[in-house]
Structure 1
Amino acid sequence: MNSETPGQTAATAPHGADNRRGPLRPGERVQLTDEKGRHSTITLTEGGAFHTHRGFLPHDTIIGKPEGTIVTNTTGQQYQVLRPLLSDFVLSMPRGAAVVYPKDAGQIVTMADIYPGARVVEAGVGSGALSISLLRAVGDYGSLHSFERREEFADIARGNVETFFGGPHPAWNITLGDFQEEVVRTEEPGSVDRVVLDMLAPWECTDAVATVLAPGGVWISYVATVTQLSRTAEAIRADGRFTEPDGWESMVRGWHLEGLAVRPDHRMVAHTGFLLTARRLAEGATGLVAKRRASKTNFSEEDLNAWTPAAVGEREVSAHKLRRAARDASSKVQRGALENAEKYNADQDGTPETP
C-alpha cells in the first residue's frame, strides 16, 4: 500500500513519515488502550502476544490492520489500537536521565523558533526526548548537533531516536565531550542559528554560545531551580553580547469531562523546569541595560561551591541501570529493523502481503 502523500515519493518524503502512515506493521510500536483508559505500549512481532492477568492478545490480530482498530483478547477484553503520539512515546521510552516533558519541549521548539532547515546545537542529550522534537522541527535538511558528556546517555538517546524515526536521522550528529570545548572546535563562529542547553551550569557556556551563535540567533536554557535560573540570567546580562534574558515556566492542568461533571483534574503536570531565552546581538553591539535591576546580583563563595548534582536534587543514575536502558533502546531498533528486513525480503520474493 502506498502511504505517501500526493506529490511525494519514498525518496522525498520526510524521514520517518512513512512509519506514521498505512496499516500497522511488524516492528512498529503501538499503544493499546483498554476500556478503563489504561495505556500499554508494545512492539509488534509476528507470532507475539500481549499478556495480562485478563488474558492475552495475539499480535497477529493487530498486524495489517489500520490505526484506530478495536481488537479483543482471549477473554473478551477490548483494546483500542493506535500508533503512539510523540508525547506518548517520550513518556514510555527507555530512559537513563529524566526526560524533557512534552509541555516543555513544545515551548522550546516554539519560543526558540526552531524552523525547518535551522542549524541547531544541543547540550545535554539525556534520553533523547528533546532531540526527537528538535529533529522533527529542523527536518531532513536542517542540522542538529548534540553534545553529551556521558557515553551511556548518548547510547540510550541514539536507540530512542532510531526507534522513533525507524532508523538514523540524516540531520543528527552526536559528539561526546564537554560542550564548551567541543562546540567551538566543531562549529564555525557565527554559524549556528539556535542553541538549546539542558545542563547543570549553563552560565559557564556564555562565551562558547556567543562565539558560535549567529547575530539574531536564539539561546534557550532549561534549568530545574530558581537559583540556576537567576545565575544564568545574571551571567547573560554580565556578558553584554545578548539581549535582556526572558524566563518563565509552564504548567498543564487537565480537565475531567463526564456529562455535567466538568471540573479540573485533581492532579496536574506542574513545575518541571524553567526556560530562559536570550538573543545574540551583532558583533560589537552591547546589550541595553534594563531600567530595573535586582538589588543583589553577586554570589557568595558558598553559592559557588554548591553546584553539584546532589546539591540541586539530581539523583545519580547507576551504571547498571544505564547499561540496561541502552540495551533496551538498542534492542527495539534491532527488532524493528529485522522485522522490516524480513518483510522487504518477502516482498522481493513475491510472497503475497498478509491481509
Structure 2
Amino acid sequence: MAKIKNNSPVLFFYNNSKKWLTKISKKESFHTHIGIIKHSDAIGKEYGSRLMTNKDKYVYLLQPTMYDYVMKIQHGTQIVYPKDIGYIIARAGIGDGQKILEIGTGSGSLTSFVASVVKPRGHVYTFDVDENFMKIAEKNIKKAGVSKYVTQHNLDLKTAKKMPLDEMDMAIIDLGDPWVVIPQVRQMLKGSGTMFAICPTMNQLEKLTMALVENEFTDIESTEHIIRNIEAREGKTRHSFQGIGHTTYLCFARKAFFGREARRSAEAAKVSDSSKKTAPKIVKKTITKPAKKTSGKTPKRTSKKSA
C-alpha cells in the first residue's frame, strides 16, 4: 500500500480539465476555484484516496504517471505529445538498456518519457544549442525524476567536426531541418539502428526522405497520429468537441548498407584495369646516323703512255 509522505508527488484530480500536479509540502496549501487543499491533509493517505476542500468539493490524490509529467511540464517550445511518443517507442522498439541519441532537446518532454523507458541500464544523450531551452528542459527532466538517465550536451552537431557518440541504438531528431544532420546520425548509429524525425510539415518530410535514401536508410515510413476523445455517458455518449488533432508528422527509418561503397570501389578498379589494357604501347625507335655523302663526280683515270 503506497502512502503519501512529505515531498511525495501527487496529482490533485477534480475532473479531466481540472487537475494539478504538485509535490507535497506539509506547510503549504493549494488555492483553487473549488477551494483550498491543505497538503498536510494528504500526508498519510493512500494514493487513490479523496480529499475534501473547504468548499465541500473533493479531489482524488493520484500517483502521477509519466503522461502526467509530460502534459504538465513547462513549455519552452512545442512539446511532443504522448500520442506521438507512444508510437515512437513502439515502432522503434525502445527498451531497457538502450542508448538513445536525441538532437533537439526542446522542453524535455520526449527526453523524459524515453529515459523512463530505457532506465535503469539505458541512457539518453540529448543535444541542443539554446541554453535557455536547456535550462527549462533540465528542470522538467529533474521534475520527472529521470535526471540520472539523461546527459545534456550544448553542441551543434551540424558543424561538429568529430561525432561524440557511436553505436547508438536509436536517434530522435526534432529540428526544423532534420535532413541536414542525417550524415551525422548515420555515423553515430549502429547497423540497423532506428531513427525518428519529428516534422511539422510535409515539405520537411519530402526533403528528409530524399536525404535518408541518399545516406542509405531503409524501411522509411511517414505517419500522422490523431486521437479522438469520446465522452461516454449513459444515454448521451458522443464525440468530444475538444481534442488534440494534428500535432506533427513522424518519419521512421533504419540504417542499412546499400553496398554503394563496394560498387564504387569495384567500378574504380574496373576502370583502372580497362585503362591499362587499352593504353597504347610505347615503341622505342633506334635512330641511325645517315652515312657521309660522297662527291657525285667519277674520278679521272690516268693512262700510262707506252714508252
TM-score range, shorter chain: 0.7 to 0.9
Question: Does structure 2 retain, via aligned residues, the 8 Å contact 1:32–1:39?
Answer: yes
- The 2-side partners of 1:183 and 1:31 are apart by 46
Equivalent residue runs for 1:145-294 within 5 Å: 145-165=125-145, 168-169=147-148, 171-182=149-160, 184-188=162-166, 191-239=167-215, 241-282=216-257, 284=259
Q: What amino acid does structure 1 have at the position aligned with 2:18?
A: R
Q: CA deviation at 1:284?
A: 3.4
SS in 1 for 2:218: coil
Q: What amino acid does structure 2 have at the position aligned with 1:176?
A: N
1:285-321: CA deviations, max 9, x gaps? 58xxxxxxxxxxxxxxxxxxxxxxxxxxxxxxxxxxx
Q: CA deviation at 1:194?
A: 0.6
Q: CA deviation at 1:183?
A: 9.1
- The 2-side partners of 1:183 and 1:274 are apart by 30
Q: CA deviation at 1:33?
A: 2.0
2:150 corresponds to 1:137: no
Report the TM-score, using the length of structure 2 for normalisation.
0.79
2:16 corresponds to 1:25: no
Closer/same/farther in 2, CA of residues 75 and 123 from structure 1, 3 Å limit: same
Question: Does structure 2 retain, via aligned residues, the 8 Å contact 1:119–1:194?
Answer: yes
- The 2-side partners of 1:44 and 1:235 are apart by 49
Question: Does structure 2 retain, via aligned residues, the 8 Å contact 1:109–1:133?
Answer: no
1:112-132: CA deviations, max 9, x gaps? 211211111001111110011
Closer/same/farther in 2, CA of residues 182 and 140 from structure 1, 3 Å limit: farther
1:235-292: CA deviations, max 9, x gaps? 11233x1115210010001111101222221222111000001111137358xxxxxx
Closer/same/farther in 2, CA of residues 138 and 53 from structure 1, 3 Å limit: closer
- Aligned equivalent of 2:97, options 117, 123, 143: 117
2:71 corresponds to 1:91: yes
SS in 2 for 1:91: helix
1:76 is matched with: 56
Q: Which structure dedicates a bigger proportion of its chain to strand? A: 2
1:104 is matched with: 84
1:215-251: CA deviations, max 9, x gaps? 1111110111111111111111233x11152100100
Question: Does structure 1 retain, via aligned residues, the 8 Å contact 2:70–2:113?
Answer: no
- The 2-side partners of 1:84 and 1:205 are apart by 36
Question: Does structure 2 retain, via aligned residues, the 8 Å contact 1:29–1:41?
Answer: yes
Question: Does structure 2 retain, via aligned residues, the 8 Å contact 1:34–1:80?
Answer: yes
- The 2-side partners of 1:129 and 1:37 are apart by 20
Closer/same/farther in 2, CA of residues 66 and 145 from structure 1, 3 Å limit: same
Equivalent residue runs for 1:23-62 within 5 Å: 23-34=3-14, 38-62=18-42
Closer/same/farther in 2, CA of residues 24 and 206 from structure 1, 3 Å limit: same
Q: Which runs of 4+ in 1 moved over 6 A?
A: none
- The 2-side partners of 1:36 and 1:184 are apart by 48
Structure of greater Rg: 2
Q: What amino acid does structure 1 have at the position aligned with 2:228?
A: R
Question: Does structure 2 retain, via aligned residues, the 8 Å contact 1:242–1:278?
Answer: yes
- The 1-side partners of 2:102 and 2:16 are apart by 39
Aligned length: 261
Closer/same/farther in 2, CA of residues 285 and 259 from structure 1, 3 Å limit: farther
Q: CA deviation at 1:38?
A: 2.2
